[in-house]
Amino acid sequence: MSFGYMGEFLVLAGVHFLAVIAPGPDFAVTIRQAVRFGRKAGIGTAIGIGAGISIHVIYTLFGIGALMHTTPWLMSLAEILGSGYLFYIGCKFIRNAGAYVADAPKEANEISRSVNFRESFSLGFMTNATNPKATLFFLAVFTTLVSSSTPLHIQIFYGLWMCSVNAAWFISVSLIFTNYIIRQRFLRIGGLFERLMGCLLIIFSVRLLWEVVSRLIA
């Protein structure tokens, strides 16, 4: 990357990092996967989230994000679908809470070995890729912080950087929550923790849907 774009890159990277560390659906899903299924699942989810960012970058670079922003019904449809997915995952977490047993900490290693890395990756990818708020964020970032004269290959580098930072941040989160002592404490309240993560996702879902409804009846 040319040093001529370093200032632009640093501002963009700083704004993006502040957005990444703000708690949201990605954070809730990563913690849940890491605590319940272990480090492999947590890392798989984190990598999936990083890959999901690429969808929003592609939308932005190829004008799909701008189309969604200027076409209210298309944006509303994306928000409803995203809300529905979060609601589905939240309900699934709550239903699965009953699978926890009293000796869950002793079962942790067995559960960790049984989880499918691909499933964790897919969960992380879909959680991020179906979030229309992320598309709007990237559209805002690229239109306000990135000059229209910035070459496409530099903008692609920005996108790859943000994908990598997202993955790295949530990998760090998964490593923290799979620390033996921390994980065992959460596993002891496994059912309650699972329900809490599910409820958080449902709250995110309802909030997103409410924004759509409020906009439609305004």
**pLDDT tens digits, one per residue of 166-181:** 999 999 999 999 998 9
pLDDT at 149: 86
Q: What are phi and psi of 63, to 5 degrees?
A: 85, 0
* In the chain, domain spans: 25-217
| pLDDT at position 95 over 70 | yes
Q: What percent of the chain has pLDDT over 90?
A: 42
- Which pLDDT score is estimated for 102? 44
Q: What share of the chain is helix, strand, coil (3-state, %, to 5)?
A: 85, 0, 15
The distance of Cα 146 from the centroid of its chain, to the nearest Å, equals 23
**DSSP assignment letter at 71:** -
Q: Is the pLDDT of residue 100 over 80?
A: no
Q: Greatest CA separation found in the chain? A: 60
The pLDDT of residue 90 is above 60: yes
State how far the alpha carbon of 18 is from the alpha carbons of 96, 124, 169, 203, in Å. Answer: 32, 20, 11, 22
What does the pLDDT look like over 109-140, one tens digit per residue? 545 555 678 999 999 999 999 988 888 888 88
138 secondary structure, DSSP code: H
Confidence of residue 210 (pLDDT cuts 50, 70, 90): very high
What count of residues does the chain have?
218
Two structure tokens written together for 22: 């703000």
What per-residue confidence (pLDDT) applies to 2?
60
Structure tokens at 161: 């950087």
Q: Residue 49's pLDDT is what?
A: 97
